[in-house]
Structure 1
């Protein structure tokens, strides 16, 4: 009985294993060919996520464009303000030029010796020569102070160290040629001809484009004439007339040149 029982048991186990294998095969085939519910949900979520990203990017682009528009508006406003300030500054500088041209004429009048009407060249008001003026307020104030000592206070003696200090402090000033010339004129009127010659020579040698150069040449020749250096005076007079034939200084130089005996 036992051998038969064992054979029956083995046969039953094999049959059971075959049945289990037969049942599992369809499950494997179905799972391999058809997506599961979890896979379907994941794909749906991915689409939703992609849509959200696209929407966020579109919103960001809109924000960036809005910011660019705002920046452009601000740039336009700043450009308008800059143009307005540039125009206003131009007006101020033009007015400053007019004031200093008038100032230059008045200083020339103030320093003209009463008994030497030809000693100083006075440029006509209507034909004032343009001069470059500084936008350095400290420099302007220092120059104004020196000039006002001549014009307003009539303190000619005190104006000499004031111009000397200005020339030392601002050697590259746009007013340097005028300051050296007026200092030379003050020294000339005072009778300090050697120092006056030095100041006039600075204008002639260092400032070829200055409107005071012809006047300084005239004064150099006058200094030489006063010191009885007739030969040097003749040379400077002739040079002045040759370089500035139509200037007021040349017209004053010609009779002085004619008066020198060879």
Structure 2
């Protein structure tokens, strides 16, 4: 009885508690649902926050990239300008160097021209000085000093004789002897004057000139020739005896000379 009562009470109590359990289960389910909803919101917020942060990072990265690109573009532009300025400076320097090179070359030409003119002026002055200063000459084995005009006058007179103008050369040589009676050319001038007189057939005067030369310088290299020329003048004057005596004198005074050899042949051909 008791057991049946107890079971009945328990059943009634259980049935009484069933709604409470259902309610509790519903409440628990509702609580779980609310917890699930809360988790989804948090996740969405976290995702949104993460997206925001990623977007912000992306925006910042893009901004930095843009800034870096702008900075690089600015640097490249500055480099380009610097290169342009450097190229302009280099071209300017090249132009200046070319100008300076041209100036230098012109200066070198000017200096060379001035040096040439200076050498020419110095040459003219030296030539004038040479014409005024005494000069050393060597004639017929004899060396001596002469004045420039003295040398010129002698050379001109001898050149006229070599040209075959006996009259003009005789005048020129006689004038030279009168003007320079103490000249080192004197004996040679007398020898050529004698030849000029012989050429113009003035034998008597030629003999006088030759003998004056021989008497003044018996050791002169042309003294033997002068003595032979005297004999030739005497032959032309038909003075054979005088010619023989002159040739004998030539053979005695200058036996080894070429003139003596010619005199022997001439002596053999003379008659009378």
TM-score, with length taken from structure 2: 0.47
Structure number having the greater helix percentage: 2
Bigger-Rg structure (1/2): 2
TM-score, with length taken from structure 1: 0.49
Q: Which has the higher contact order (CA 8 A, sep 6+)?
A: 1
